[in-house]
Amino acid sequence: MSPNVLIGIGGTGARVVEAMINLCAAGYGPDNLAVFIIDPDEGNGNLTRTKTLISLYQRCQQRFNPTAATENKLFRTTLKTPGNLVWSIFKQKGTRLKDYIKLESMDHPLADFATVLFSDDELLTNLEKGFRGHPSIGSVVMANPDQNEDPWTILWDDITNKKQNEVRVFLAGSVFGGTGAAGVPTIGSRNLIKFNENATIGKEKSRVLLGGALVLPYFSIERDDDTEESMFVTHYDFPIATKAALHYYNEKQLGFDQLYLIGDSLNQKVGKFSVGSQSQENSPHYIELVTALAAFDFFEQPPVEGEPEKLYFISSRENETITWDSLPVSRKDEQIRPRQVELKSQLLTMTTFAYTMCTYGQEILDRDHKGIRDPWYREHFEFDEKNEKDNNKNPRWGENKTDLKNFTDYLSKYFLPWVTLMDDYSQKVSLISRERICEGDVRVGAAPTLADREKKKENIGHFTKERNPEGKNFDQFLTLGLLAVNISREKTLSAADRFVNIFYEAAMKFCKQNYNLQ
C-alpha cells in the first residue's frame, strides 16, 4: 500500500485539506492518507476549523465499526497526522523578517543588500498573520525546515523500505497569495522533499513521487479601505501575482513530477476582507473540492516505474454552470463518467445521511426509549432501561452517547455547512442545494438550522440542484430507507454503531431509488 501525503499550504491549502477530509468521510478518498498543514498564522480561522475537523474525523473513524453494506464507504480512509499538525515556521511569536535574518548582526554590505531586496514594511511587519501577499518573505523563511521535527517526520517514517516513486506527496496552495505562493515552489524545490537525502535512491532517483496543485485565482473578497494595516493583499492584486508566479514555474526546474493547474473565472465572494488571524475565515468553494479531487487522482494512479514523466493536467467545462458532469475526476477518459457518478452518489448519500441523522435521528435520541414505537427502532434496540447489564445496548448511554455526539457534531457543524456553502445562490454551482437543507445563515463550525422534516417533507427528494420530478418525500425515506434496513443479527455492533449504520444504509437505499443511482 503506497503511502499518500497531502500537505496544505496557507489558507487555500487548509481548505483543500478540509475538502479532502469531507470526501474521505463520504467514502470518496484513498485507503490511507497522512496530512499536515503549513501556515505561520496559527490563529487563522480557516486553519482552526480544519484542525477541529481533522480531530473529529479521527474520533469518528477510529470508533466506527461498519457493516458489510457500509464498509469501504463511510469514513473509509485511515487518516494519519503528526503530533504537531501545523508547521507554523516561527518558534517565537511576533517574529519579523528583520529578526529572522538577523539583520542587525549582519555585515554592513550584506545588511545593505537585504534592505535593497526588502522594503521597510516587509522587514518590520509582524509575520504572525502570514506573509500578506508577499511570497518573497515566505520563500526565505520556509527554505530550511528542521525535518527531524514534526510535522516533517511523517514524510520519512519507514521511507527506507519504500521503492522508487512509492511515497506519493501532494502539495496544495494558491499561487496568488502569500503563504501558498511562497510555499508551493519552495517546498516543491528539488532538494527539500523530492531529492531529500531521506528520499534519494542513487543519482536522480527518488522514493517520492511529487505532485502539486497550482490554485489560480478563484474568488473575491469584500475590500476594507479602512484597515490600518500597511501590508496586505486583496483580490485586485491576484492577476499580477499569478502572472509572476506562472512565469517563475515556467523558468525554474522544480521537483514536481506532476502538476494540476486549477482556477475559476466566476469571481465568487467567499467572505469579508481580513489580513489574517481568527477573522480570516472564508466560505468553502467548489474549487477546493476540485483540488481535493486532483489530489485523489494523483494518489490513485498505478505504480510509476523508472523515471517519472513530467505531466501537467488542465480541464475545462462547456459553460459557466458547474454540474456533476463538469467536475474533473480522473486523468483517464474512460474513468471520468463512472467517477462522476460515484462522486455524486457518495456526496448525495452522505448529505442525506447527515440531514436525517441530525433531524429525525436526533429526535429519536432525545426521546425516552420506552416511548418510542417506530418499528425500525424496536426491531434493532431491545433492552431494559432499568437493567444495568443492558446499558451498552442503549444509544443514549456512556460511550454510545459520546460516539453519537461526535458523529452528529461532525455532520451538523462541518460536513453539512461545507457541502451546502458551495452553493452560493448564484445559480452557477449546481451541485447540492443549500436552501433545501439549511435555513438562515450557515457557517462552518456551527450547526445550522435545518429544514423542518415534517413541514418540508418534499425537500429530502431534491437535495441535488438538478431537476428531479420524481423526487420522494420524508415519509418515503422511512419506508424505502429505514424500514428496509435489517442489521438486527449484527450482534457485535455497539448501540452507537448500530444507530449510525442504520441511518447510513437507509440513506444509501433511499438515494439509489430517489436519484436513480447505479
pLDDT for the residue 513: 96
Q: Is residue 19 within 8 Å of residue 291, measured between CB atoms? A: yes
In degrees rounded to 5, what are phi and psi of residue 378? -65, -30
Provide the Cα torsion 209, 23, 419, 171; round to 10°: -20
The Cα 377–Cα 364 span in angstroms is 9
Span 117-169, pLDDT tens digits: 887 887 877 777 767 667 778 778 888 899 999 999 999 988 988 999 999 99
Helix (H) or strand (E) holding 315: none
Q: Is residue 117 within 8 Å of residue 139, measured between CB atoms? A: no
- Vertex 84, ends 83 and 89: CA angle to 5°? 155
Q: Name all domains of the chain by residue range, CATH numbers in brackets.
A: 4-90+127-314 (3.40.50.1440), 340-514 (no CATH)
Give the global pTM: 0.90
pLDDT for the residue 143: 86
Span 427-465, pLDDT tens digits: 899 999 999 999 999 999 999 999 999 999 999 999 999
Span 342-379, pLDDT tens digits: 999 999 999 999 999 999 999 999 999 999 999 999 99
- Vertex 117, ends 114 and 123: CA angle to 5°? 65
* 250 pLDDT above the threshold of 60: yes
Span 209-218, pLDDT tens digits: 999 999 988 8
Instruction: State the cell numbers at 356.
Output: 436525517
Q: DSSP strand E in 289-400: where? A: 311-313
* 277 pLDDT above the threshold of 80: no
Instruction: State the cell numbers at 160.
Output: 527506507
